[in-house]
Structure 1
Amino acid sequence: MYKIIGADQKEYGPVSADQINAWILEGRANGQTLAQAVGSTEWRALSLFPEFATVLAAKRPAPPPLGSADPETTADAVLERGVQVNVGECLGRAWSLLTSNFGLFLGASLLLALIQLGLEFFVPILGGFAYFVMFGALYGGYCMIILKRVRGEHSGVGDLFTGFSQDFVQFMLAGVVISVLTTIGKICCVIPGIYLAVAWKFSLVLVADRHLEFWPAMESSRRVITRYWFQLFGILVVAYLPLVLFMGYSLFHMFTVLFPVVINGGGRFDFSEMIRLTKGFLPLWIIQQLIEFLTLPFATAAVVYAYEDLFGTRPAKAA
């Protein structure tokens, strides 16, 4: 007998193995559904129970062509599956995954933040450039830590650095090109920049998971997410809501401080005064980095669940 966690994050059971097999065949459960054998205290993905392996293998749909260099082929294979992305389900599953892997995810986020701050503070100019180059590999490794846990596989903080031992050039190019083009898009017109930032959200995961080259990964991500753009945008807005609200407050605060200085200057620009006031914004920047550090695991997990629903080899919905 077993208990399981449904897509609504509620506990069901005890139920028999035959009942769970029936749910798998109906598409109400899958390999990522969490289950607990009666008498045990451990919750595990159904894919880790050998007694469900046969039914899971029979139910599993054909995955998109692995490692295809043609982004159109990869994207079309995903879109033909007709999978739906449910914002609430992605967020709910991400929260459950985060609470059961809190130490690992927060530890990986902390290490990522320390690398960034260490390079930018202790290696002026060159450190910032180094992190800019390494970001793709680091974030790709971070995504794989979470993706492995989504699939019920083992992962550790050391996986953060897997991008340095394989596909580093592709990670680097993807990270750099995405950063540069989205920044240009935001400068020229805000809307294209926001569209691209969301549309390329699967790029580094595709490099890490499917070992695509950077441009096919970016194009595959863009083509697929364009159909589900508003769902992914909704996931990101909700997951990063504390950060979005604080950034809005920070911009308003900076405007109220700097605008009177410009207006009251009588047309003269007092550079030294502006520098003095800008230094006062350092606490805001530190708080913003802290909020980003705390929201990153949840947001990334939600995006990874959406990725797995679309590009993975399992149905989107659990029981």
Structure 2
Amino acid sequence: MNEKIILQFSKTKLLKAGFTLAIIASIASTLYVMKAEALAWHVWHQFTHHDHHGLDLSEYEVAIEGKQLADYKNASGLAFNNETGTLFTVLNDMSMIVELTRDGKPIREIKVHGTDDLEGISHLEKDYYVVADERESKLWLLQIKPETRELSIKDGRLLKFGMNERGNKNFEGVTWDSVHHRLIVVKERDPKYVMSVTGLYEPNEDKQSQIEVQRMTQFDPALKWALRDLSSVTYHERTGHFFLLSDESKLLKQFNEQGQTLGSLALWKGFHGLHENVPQAEGVSIDDEGNVYIVSEPNLFYVFKPKSSRT
């Protein structure tokens, strides 16, 4: 009799424990789908002290929302050219680079031969650009002149890394740090990280340079908890800050050189004047006036500006 009571009691405990675990799992799943940790980080940054030497992203509002870029497919990277005052995006499905005005109007198409997975682009200076091939884990230094309408990836200078396998979780974004003459490259996930590359391009053509690759570990703690993936990066020369874009977290986060978070821009409906979520943010750039530009697959274009500039 006692054994039966004990057995029944044990079964009841197991059932209650299983029910509790099911509730916890359900709550955790719901929070994950809602991107609760990203929302918490964003709200926290809105109420913490802002670095006055950075961009106050809490004061930004959308000025152009979800403008379609013609019939293009898979707009993936974005770069602003301070010398021309125009933007450049890469289309990985169409193997093309497209030059855009600041309001998202296409003004030039450049067909790129020899690659089918362009994911990032950055302007260095003059006619020189770097593009990233995600599947092959390669960076290419290309010269794109004002009259260029077609080029081969093989005409550029190749930088290939041996640290990543072929696949679709590799280089997602690249930007040029003009102050330290280095490229900043982000790997999407598994694992996600930020690294610097020096020596690929030297503004002083007479200077001999050696390519050096270094992981920027100061960003690792923030990446571990704050961003689910990395889809793009841009460097802002005036502030010396890095802006990391996460498609899965739907956040653009600002960091200083030490890896300290200095604010964020939320890409969800209801934030910063957005009427709908930014569906798949893949590229980001900032112009000389501090305006933030984002492209979202397959072909959506966004502009965010400080409220003060719109009054």
Give the alignment's TM-score, normalised by structure 2.
0.29
Q: Which has the higher contact order (CA 8 A, sep 6+)?
A: 1
Structure with the largest fraction of strand:
2
Structure with the largest fraction of helix:
1
